[in-house]
C-alpha cells in the first residue's frame, strides 16, 4: 500500500482550480475549510503529523524546534511501513521531525534569489524523488510525506528584485500596483505547476491513500492592509503577508482525502489539520491515542479550532509586544502574540503578550472576509469564547517566554524567506 501526504506551503482554497484538485474533490472527501493550528511552517507541520495542538506537542518556533510527541510516520514504522519525506524548503529540516522517517531528504537543487525561496527543491524534483523511492519499494507498505515549497513567496516576489522600489512623498511604494499584480499572478501560476506535478505522481505510481493540504495560507492584495501588519491598537508595525496574523486567509487551507472507503463528499463545515492524523490512522487501522483531533470520514466534525502565532519570538530584535515590558530589561517590538478560537460561526482573536486580552471577534458565517470587528457589539459571545480559550490554554506559559537570539546565518535565511 502506498500512502502519500502532500503539504503545499501557503496553499489557499482559491488556488485549487487545476483539474487535479477538481478530480481529487470528485473522487474523495473534500474539505474547503481546514483550519491550521499555526500560520507558519514548523508548528503547523508538527500539528499535521502528530494530530496535536501546539500547546501539547510543544513546537512554537520556526527553527531549531523539538517535539517529543509521537508522529504518524513513527507509528507507521512500528506497523512495518517504509517511511520517507522529501522536503522542498527551509525551515522544516532544522527540527527533529525527521526522527520518524527512514528517509528524510531536504532537496536544495536551486538557489532562488529573486523570489525569496532561497535554496529549495521545486515540486517536480520532489515528485521525482518520491516516484523513484516508491518504485524501489514496490509491493511494500509505504508512507511518503512531501513538503512543497513553490508557493512560499516573500515580499521580493512582488517587487521582482532584491531591492524594494522607492517610497514616494506619501510613504507609498512607487509603481507598487505592477509589483502586486506580479506577485498574485506568480502565486496562481505556481499553484497550477504544483497541481500538475501531483497529478504526474499519481499517474506514475499507484497511490492507494492520499492527502493533499497546506500548512497555512497567504495574504493577498486587498486583504487586511496587504502587505502591511497592524497591531491590536491599529498602528502599522511592519510588512508581512503570512505568519504574524490569525485571519482566515492565513489559517484556512483546503483538505483532500482519497482512498478506499473514503466517501465522495464536499464538506463546507470547519475541520482542522490536527484531524488529518486521526483520519489517516482510522483508514490505515492504526492507533494514535495522543492525538487531539478526530477522524472525519464518519461525519464527525470538531466544534472549535485553536490557532496561535508566536512568530516574533524568533530573535531578540523581533520579540513580540509584551504588556509586562516594565518587568524586563529587554525591549519588545510592536508585533503581537496572538491566539484564536474559531467555530463555524465565530472567531475570537486575543493578544497573548503576557495575559490574554480579547481584541477581535468576527462572525465568520456572515462575514468571511472578517471586515467587521464585533468585539464590542457581541460582548456575550466574546466572553463565552474567551472562557473556552482560557480553559484550553490557562496553564500554558508560552506567552511569557522568549526565544534565544539566532545566529547571523539563520537570521539571513529567515529574512530571505520573509519571516523577519
Question: Residues 298, 317: one domain?
Answer: no
| Measured CA distances, 117 to 133, 163, 195, 415 (Å) | 25, 16, 19, 10
Residue 255: its pLDDT value, please? 98
CA distance 257 to 264: 9
Q: Give the end of a domain, one of 254, 277, 302.
A: 302
Q: Check whether the bond before 389 is cis (ω within 30° of 0).
A: no
Provide the H-helix boundaries in 59-166.
Answer: 72-78, 123-136, 156-159
Residues 150 and 276 in one domain: yes
Same domain, 276 and 338: no
Condensed to tens digits (0 to 9), the pLDDT of residues 336-392 reads 889 999 999 999 999 998 889 999 999 999 999 999 999 999 999 999 999 999 999
Largest CA distance in the chain: 66
Same domain, 242 and 347: no
pTM over 0.85, yes/no: yes
* 102 and 185 assigned to the same domain: yes
- Tell me the backbone φ, ψ of residue 24, rounded to 5 degrees: -60, -40
Residue 128 CB neighbours (<10 A): 17
pLDDT tens, residue by residue, 228-279? 788 888 887 766 777 789 999 999 999 999 999 899 999 999 999 999 999 9
User: Which residues, listed in sequence order, are joined to residue 267 by a DSSP beta bridge?
Assistant: 31
Read off the pLDDT band of 17 (50, 70, 90): very high
Verify that 239 and 334 share a domain, yes or no: no
CATH number for 314: 3.30.1120.10
Q: Determine whether 178 is exposed, middle or buried from the number of CB atoms within 10 Å of its CB (0-12, 13-18, 19+).
A: exposed
Domain count, the chain: 2
Q: Which domain holds residue 253?
A: 2-302
Asked if 159 and 243 sit in the same domain, the reply is yes
Rounded CA gap, 238 and 47, in Å?
Answer: 27
**CA-to-CA distance for 48 and 272, rounded, in angstroms?**
9
User: d(Cα 110, Cα 118) in Å, to the nearest integer?
Assistant: 8
Kindly state whether residues 362 and 272 are assigned to the same domain. no
Amino acid at each position: 500500500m502506498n500512502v502519500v501526504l502532500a503539504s503545499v506551503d501557503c496553499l489557499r482554497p482559491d488556488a485549487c482550480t487545476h483539474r487535479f484538485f477538481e478530480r481529487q474533490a470528485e473522487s474523495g472527501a473534500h474539505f474547503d475549510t481546514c483550519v491550521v493550528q499555526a500560520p507558519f511552517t514548523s508548528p503547523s507541520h508538527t500539528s499535521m503529523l502528530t494530530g496535536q495542538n501546539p500547546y501539547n506537542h510543544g513546537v512554537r518556533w520556526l527553527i531549531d524546534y523539538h517535539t517529543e510527541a509521537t508522529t504518524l510516520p513513527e507509528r507507521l514504522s512500528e506497523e512495518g511501513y517504509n517511511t520517507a519525506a522529501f522536503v522542498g524548503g527551509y525551515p522544516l529540516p532544522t527540527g527533529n521531525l525527521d526522527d520518524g522517517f527512514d528517509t528524510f531528504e531536504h532537496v536544495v537543487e536551486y538557489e532562488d534569489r529573486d523570489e525569496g525561496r532561497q535554496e529549495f527543491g521545486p515540486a517536480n524534483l520532489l515528485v521525482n524523488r518520491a516516484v523513484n523511492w516508491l518504485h524501489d519499494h514496490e509491493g511494500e507498505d509505504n508512507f511518503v510525506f512531501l513538503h512543497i515549497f513553490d508557493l512560499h513567496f516573500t515580499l521580493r516576489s512582488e517587487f521582482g528584485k532584491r531591492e524594494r522600489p522607492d517610497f514616494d512623498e506619501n510613504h507609498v511604494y512607487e509603481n507598487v500596483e505592477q509589483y502586486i499584480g506580479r506577485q498574485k499572478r506568480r502565486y496562481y501560476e505556481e499553484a497550477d505547476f504544483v497541481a500538475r506535478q501531483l497529478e504526474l505522481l499519481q499517474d506514475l505510481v499507484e497511490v492507494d491513500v492520499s492527502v493533499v493540504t497546506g500548512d497555512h495560507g497567504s495574504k493577498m492584495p486587498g486583504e487586511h492592509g496587504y502587505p502591511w501588519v497592524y497591531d491590536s491598537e491599529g498602528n502599522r508595525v511592519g510588512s508581512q503577508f503570512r505568519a504574524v496574523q490569525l485571519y482566515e486567509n492565513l489559517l484556512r487551507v483546503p483538505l483532500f482525502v482519497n482512498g478506499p472507503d473514503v466517501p465522495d463528499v464536499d464538506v463546507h463545515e470547519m475541520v482542522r489539520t490536527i484531524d488529518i492524523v486521526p483520519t489517516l490512522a482510522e483508514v490505515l487501522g492504526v492507533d494514535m491515542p495522543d492525538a487531539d483531533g478526530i477522524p472525519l470520514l464518519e461525519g464527525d466534525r470538531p466544534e472549535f479550532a485553536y490557532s496561535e502565532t508566536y512568530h516574533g519570538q524568533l530573535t531578540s530584535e523581533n520579540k513580540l509586544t509584551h504588556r509586562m515590558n516594565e518587568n524586563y530589561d529587554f525591549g519588545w517590538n510592536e508585533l503581537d502574540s496572538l491566539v484564536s478560537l474559531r467555530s463555524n460561526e465565530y472567531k475570537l482573536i486575543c493578544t497573548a503578550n503576557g495575559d490574554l486580552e480579547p481584541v477581535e471577534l468576527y462572525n465568520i458565517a456572515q462575514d468571511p472576509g472578517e471586515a467587521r470587528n464585533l468585539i464590542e457589539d457581541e460582548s456575550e459571545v466574546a466572553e463565552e469564547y474567551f472562557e473556552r480559550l482560557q480553559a484550553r490554554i490557562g496553564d500554558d506559559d508560552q506567552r511569557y517566554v522568549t526565544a534565544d537570539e539566532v545566529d547571523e546565518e539563520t537570521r539571513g535565511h529567515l529574512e530571505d524567506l520573509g519571516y523577519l
